[in-house]
Amino acid sequence: MNRILVIGDIHGGLRALHQIMERAQVSEKDTLIFLGDYVDGWSESPQVIDYLIALGKQQNCIFLKGNHDELLLDWLNGNFENFNESLWYNHGGEATVAAYGSVSDQTKKEHIDFLSSIQNYHLDQQNRLFIHAGFTNMNGVTFEYFPKLFYWDRSLWETALALDENIEKESVHYPRRLSLYDEIYIGHTPVTKINQTIPVKKACVWNVDTGAAFKGPLTIMDVNTKEFWQSDLLPELYPTEKGRN
């Protein structure tokens, strides 16, 4: 059976990406959905994007945009309007800039094309939404007034975390955003913030960011069976680096 596999935030950790691909025994028959944040943190952000570009030519891949991917695209394009470079540096951008110091102009152009082409979200035929961060419109993603929130929002996950599990889904008090889709898969806010290192489900929201940017592993999960595979902890794979710690 061909699988649908969702992958959490990578943040420049190519070694971890190689591990989960091997441990999940990914084949060309599998569909891969990447939740974004491919860069910023560990030292191999350009190599991660090279790998994803090549992978997308071999099999069905859906690449979603993360906030760090947008920051990199702005930097590569020289678009510094409303861009706080020092803040980006403190959140993983410094390692990315250093890594791009040895990247050719041609490769940078290929990366710009890739980052410009990735999607804000993916909604499948089973009413499952895949998105980096969240959305705010009570009627769903197609009604969102502020598309940047697809990769910056944290309120969707915070709402799911804070929801009283005793509230029935049919109740007028149940958050409407959590009733629109059968399942929502996100990254963006690592579950290590709630002392977890495996995918966490709250209401209909699956958070697959298991903290690879910091001290956690990278995760790939089978959307249908919920089986998942993880890399080693990223500081163990990059022992001389700090990541976003």
Mean pLDDT of 90-119: 96
- Provide the pLDDT for residue 87: 84
Distance CA 127, CA 40 (A): 31
Sheet holding 205-207, edge to edge: 121-123, 128-131, 183-186, 205-207, 200-202
Distance CA 99, CA 58 (A): 26
Asked whether residue 143 is assigned to any structural domain, the reply reads yes
Residue carrying the six token digits 């859906």: 62
CA angle 191, 196, 201 (to 5 degrees): 65
Asked whether residue 182 is assigned to any structural domain, the reply reads yes
Asked whether residue 178 is assigned to any structural domain, the reply reads yes
What's CA 12's distance to the chain center, in Å?
12
- Provide the pLDDT for residue 122: 98
Look at strands 128-131 and 183-186 and give their pairing.
parallel
Asked whether residue 245 is assigned to any structural domain, the reply reads no
Task: Tell me the pTM.
Answer: 0.97
Distance CA 89, CA 94 (A): 4
172: pLDDT strictly greater than 80: yes
177: pLDDT strictly greater than 80: yes
- Provide the pLDDT for residue 84: 78
- Percent of residues, the chain, with pLDDT higher than 90: 94
1 confidence band (pLDDT: 50, 70, 90): low
Asked whether residue 10 is assigned to any structural domain, the reply reads yes
Structural domain containing residue 182: 4-237
What sign results for the dihedral spanned by CA atoms 173, 176, 180, 183?
Answer: negative
197: pLDDT strictly greater than 90: yes
Mean pLDDT of 111-134: 98
Distance CA 90, CA 17 (A): 23
What sign results for the dihedral spanned by CA atoms 11, 178, 63, 127?
Answer: positive
Distance CA 31, CA 2 (A): 7
Asked whether residue 242 is assigned to any structural domain, the reply reads no
Domains in the chain, number: 1
pLDDT in tens, 52-99: 999 999 999 999 999 999 999 999 998 877 677 888 888 899 999 999
Asked whether residue 244 is assigned to any structural domain, the reply reads no
- Provide the pLDDT for residue 82: 66
pLDDT averaged over every residue in the chain: 96
Phi/psi for 36 (5° steps) reads 100, 180
The CATH number assigned to the domain holding 9 equals 3.60.21.10
The number of residues making up the chain comes to 245
Asked whether residue 72 is assigned to any structural domain, the reply reads yes
